[in-house]
Structure 1
Amino acid sequence: MTRQLVLDTETTGLDPRDGHRVLEVAAIEIFNLMPTGRHFHRVIDPERDIPAEASRIHGFTSIHVEGKPKFAAILAELEAFLGDDPIIAHNAGFDFAMLDAELARCGRPALPRTRMVDTLEIAKKRFPGMPNSLDALCRRLGIDNSMRTSHNALLDVQLLAQVYLELMGGRQPGLTLAVERAVPVLAAGEVAVVRTPRPIIVPEEVLARHAEFVGKKLKDALWLKV
């Protein structure tokens, strides 16, 4: 089976070389282009101020990160969730660079670029010369993004997963209507819901009456040829 992670970060700015930090990271798991229901989501204390221009994009202010764990405290959980599998992100080079800077502060190696799957680059090849932001792709591919009033990492990865599946050849029906598995998500105390299929059982006498009707009342019935 092919496991992939769809990932997004929110940050205090655009360049880690200027001291900007990750303040939110989210990822969801997909197997063979189908969501499993497992996700990782943490809001992080970036250990610095959040510039007003960044707050206008994602809505986070210092109040929202007060008392949240620092990146080092969530690193073990994040690494365990990501494993060694491919990581899908939109403009992935940015997210990888921001995470690499955080990993370096913790004495950890950078994420291998062989794991990177950039949906922005995929979209540019499929729609050359067209706007290929996440919002533009949602509109073009018929994906409802009406709830995206600001950049939120968890909502963004859910939308990006749908965009990615469309870019890869068509959305799987189970993406939005998937049977949720009994797999614990990584937020404390949360467990995915299990929905048990309930097949409709047709009584034998009803099947017999239907067979009699088809055989006697319908000429050249398609049912009898299948």
Structure 2
Amino acid sequence: MAREQSMWSTERRAAFDLETTGRNSRAARIVTASIVVLGPHGSVEAEHEWIADPGVEIPAEAAEVHGISTEKARTEGRPAHEVVAEVAATLQALFDQGVPVVAYNASYDFTVMAAECARHGIPQLTRFPVLDPYVINKQVERYRKGKRTLGALCEQYGVILTDAHSSAADALAAAQLLEAMATRFPELHKPAAHLHRSQVDWSSAQAADFQAYLRKTKPTAVVEGDWPVLAPRDAGQSGF
């Protein structure tokens, strides 16, 4: 069976996560990165982890989340350009093989990667196929109440998330969450390429709906729906 027609849930897949210096995905720098490669049945085949010296101060609020201070990053981390190049090369090799990459709230992590690659003169990723449990959950459980954080959804679906906010733990949990969601929603058992294309449309529609809601009280509100990477800013604006 051609890979385009094979179900992602029966093939090798990978999971990807970053911990960074901040919430602005166009400005944030990578602090830690993890890529976990899983076999067809979900067993871990390979793990890749990096700690980077981002070259800037790590804000205290970010360090409190992931546990990496500026001093620790400078002592234990490698130069940012080396880490970005290796993460990009590892991801691109997976995409070249047709291996889907799972990333929770993928537009954040892949926008950080896009900005970092532009910053260090590294070719941009193809970013296909990507599977995002965040976007998928908003589609299959549109009227779910409560937070849609990785932790909240893992609790709902019975996925054990230990050492939350470490990139390795979050990456693996995202992959396991997607598997649990597919068990509950059989319509997710589709070829990764098909599901990727659906998520492009779902993310756009989700953003439009949220923007319309916000504009009831804030007429200038803008919610970006680009997926799996936010579009570059226009010339003169901050970002890549």
Query: By the TM > 0.5 criterion, same fold?
Result: yes
Q: How far apart, in 2, do the equivalents of 1:112 and 1:3 lie?
A: 18
Whole-Å Cα distance in 1 between the matches of residues 30 and 109 of structure 2? Answer: 9
Q: 1:20 aligns with which of 28, 49, 53?
A: 28
Q: Tell me which of 44, 50, 74 is aligned to 1:42.
A: 50
Contact 2:101/2:131 (CA < 8 Å) preserved in 1? yes
Counterparts of 1:63-212 in structure 2 under 5 Å? 63-67=71-75, 68-82=77-91, 83=93, 84=95, 85-130=99-144, 131-145=147-161, 147-148=162-163, 150-169=164-183
User: Counterparts of 1:109 and 1:3 in 2: how far apart (Å)?
Assistant: 25
- How much has 1:25 moved relative to structure 2? 0.4
Residue type at the aligned position of 1:162: Q
Q: Please state how far the C-alpha of 1:132 moved relative to its aligned partner.
A: 2.1
- Does the CA contact (< 8 Å) of 1:33 and 1:165 recur in 2? no
Instruction: Summarize deviations over 1:104-162 as a string: whole Å, max 9, x none.
Output: 123223223433221101111222233321111111111223x33x5110111121221
Q: Distance in 1 between matches of 2:135 and 2:35?
A: 19
Percentage of identical aligned residues: 28
- Structure with more relative contact order (C-alpha pairs < 8 Å, separation 6 or more): 2
Kindly provide the amino acid, as one letter, of the partner of residue 104 in structure 1: A
1:9 aligns with 2:18: yes
Distance 1:38 1:12 in 2: 26
Compute the displacement of 1:35 (Å): 2.6
Length, aligned pairs only: 167
In the superposition, relative to structure 1, how do residues 3 and 108 fare at CA in structure 2: closer, same or farther (>3 Å)? farther
How far does residue 165 in structure 1 lie from its aligned partner after superposition? 1.0
**How far has the Cα of 1:169 moved from its partner?**
2.1
TM-score by length of 2: 0.63
Q: 1 CA distance for matches of 2:88 and 2:70?
A: 26
Q: Which amino acid aligns with 1:40?
A: H
Cα distance, 1:66 vs. partner?
A: 1.5
Residue identity opposite 1:118 in structure 2: D
Contact 1:28 1:35 in 2 (8 A): no
User: Residue 123 of structure 1 aligns to which amino acid in structure 2?
Assistant: N
Cα deviations by residue, 1:37-75 (Å, 9 ceiling, x for unpaired): 301111110100011221222222112202311232234
- In 2, distance between residues paired with 1:47 and 1:161? 30
Counterparts of 2:109 and 2:86, CA distance in 1: 18
What letter corresponds to residue 6 of structure 1 in structure 2? A
**Structure 1 residue ranges (4+ consecutive) displaced by more than 6 angstroms after TM superposition:** none
Larger Cα Rg: Structure 1 or Structure 2? 1
Secondary structure of the 1:9 match is strand
Q: Which has the higher helix share?
A: 2
Task: Give the 3 Å change call, closer, same or farther, for CA 33–72 of structure 1 in structure 2.
Answer: farther
